[in-house]
């Protein structure tokens, strides 16, 4: 691995080395759950989103690198990816932690070469079916009956995708997703890459795939504003650690990118890089990045930060929509907010 690539893995907290057995522990054995990190308040408006008495609870620990949380409203539980272990885990109050799906992202018979074979971003499609960004299989797939996968998309103009990372559905059924190469053994320098760029894409229900942008070097997390007029994309490039915004046109295409917030300087003061993010119903952005989860207004004002103290990968809303679940390195955490997620 080239030095720059190695530096990226260190920043993201994904330098796991050889896979070793881990002890996953659900923090349900005691009445009072362990709290982690600190809460940094930058603007009075933050108190209306995160109450002064709020704390970040650790629900489970011992995973390797967790990502892609999604709430199953019908079942009342959270699903999330443990990428190095090729596993989707399930968390439910009262029942704790359990395995949900394995394999989750690599279904091949040969040993996987790389650090991240499993699923990354997870979402439910308009029909309520689980859709997964599969690193190892280099595709987006839908989970069907009996644990069988159906390919949603795996190629652009006949060439294999790098390793789809995160995804979001538009109310029209259009699927927006990012495709960096972090699931490949040598990431950006991997000889198995067939595309010489990392794309942001839109897939129509008809199957038509459109490349929206290939200028963002390391597109990662992706989200839509409540009115679906703005598409946000995180760039996990340590040399340009920013969140981009794109205006969404009536036909689903996007305009030129603009920098929503530049966090490059933060990479020197906190672990991690811009990664997954979700929006509340008022349009505030809850974005993982250097140091934890950063909260921004729709105009890019930084209101405050949930400082986890570890590289933090993603977030999602659960419960009645006011609970924010956080996948932070080897932990699953949550915080009770005073807002609700988009769609709740």
| Segment 307-341, tens digit of pLDDT | 999 999 999 999 999 999 999 999 999 999 999 99
Task: Quickly state the pLDDT bin for 82 (edges 50, 70, 90).
Answer: very high
Torsion angles phi and psi, residue 294, rounded to 5: -100, 140
8 A C-beta contact, residue 210 and residue 202: yes
What pLDDT score was predicted for residue 30?
43
Preceding amide of 103 cis, omega within 30: yes
What pLDDT score was predicted for residue 116?
96
Question: CA 28 → CA 60, 78, 119, distances in Å?
Answer: 8, 15, 26
The mean pLDDT of 86-97, rounded to a whole number, is 97
How many Cβ atoms are within 10 Å of 88's Cβ, its own excluded? Answer: 25
Q: Which residues contact 53 (CB under 8 A, 6 or more apart)?
A: none
Place of tokens 């019908």: 74
pTM score of the predicted model: 0.92
Residue spans of the domains in the chain: they are 23-336
Domain 23-336: top CATH class: mainly beta
Strand ranges inside 83-148, DSSP E: 87-92, 96-101, 119-124, 130-134, 139-143
Burial class (CB in 10 A: 0-12, 13-18, 19+), 270: buried
């Amino acid at each position: 691995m080239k030095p720059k690539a190695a530096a990226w893995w260190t920043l993201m907290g994904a330098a796991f080395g050889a896979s070793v057995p881990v002890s996953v522990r659900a923090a349900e054995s005691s009445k009072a759950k362990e709290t982690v990190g600190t809460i940094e308040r930058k603007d009075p408006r933050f108190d209306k989103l995160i109450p002064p008495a709020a704390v970040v609870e650790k629900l489970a620990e011992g995973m390797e690198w967790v990502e892609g949380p999604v709430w199953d409203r019908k079942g009342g539980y959270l699903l999330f990816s443990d990428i190095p272990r090729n596993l989707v885990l399930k968390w439910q109050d009262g029942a704790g932690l359990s395995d949900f799906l394995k394999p989750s992202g690599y279904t091949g018979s040969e040993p996987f070469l790389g650090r991240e074979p499993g699923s990354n971003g997870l979402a439910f499609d308009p029909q309520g079916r689980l859709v997964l960004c599969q690193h190892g299989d280099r595709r987006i797939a839908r989970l069907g009956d009996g644990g069988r996968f159906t390919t949603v998309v795996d190629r652009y103009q006949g060439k294999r995708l790098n390793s789809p990372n995160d995804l979001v559905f538009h109310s029209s059924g259009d699927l927006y997703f990012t495709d960096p190469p972090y699931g490949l053994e040598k990431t950006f320098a991997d000889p198995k890459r067939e595309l010489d760029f990392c794309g942001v894409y839109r897939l129509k229900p008809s199957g038509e795939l459109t490349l929206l942008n290939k200028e963002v070097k390391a597109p990662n997390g992706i989200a839509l504003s409540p009115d679906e007029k703005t598409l946000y994309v995180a760039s996990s490039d340590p040399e340009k650690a920013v969140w981009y915004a794109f205006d969404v046109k009536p036909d689903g295409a996007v305009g030129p990118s603009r920098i929503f917030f530049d966090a490059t300087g933060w990479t020197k003061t906190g672990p991690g890089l811009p990664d997954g993010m979700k929006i509340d119903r008022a349009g505030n952005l809850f974005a993982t990045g250097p140091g934890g989860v950063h909260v921004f207004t729709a105009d890019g004002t930084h209101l405050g930060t949930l400082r986890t103290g570890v590289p933090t990968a993603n977030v999602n809303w659960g419960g009645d929509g006011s609970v924010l679940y956080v996948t932070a390195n080897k932990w699953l955490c949550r915080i009770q907010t005073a807002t609700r997620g988009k769609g709740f």
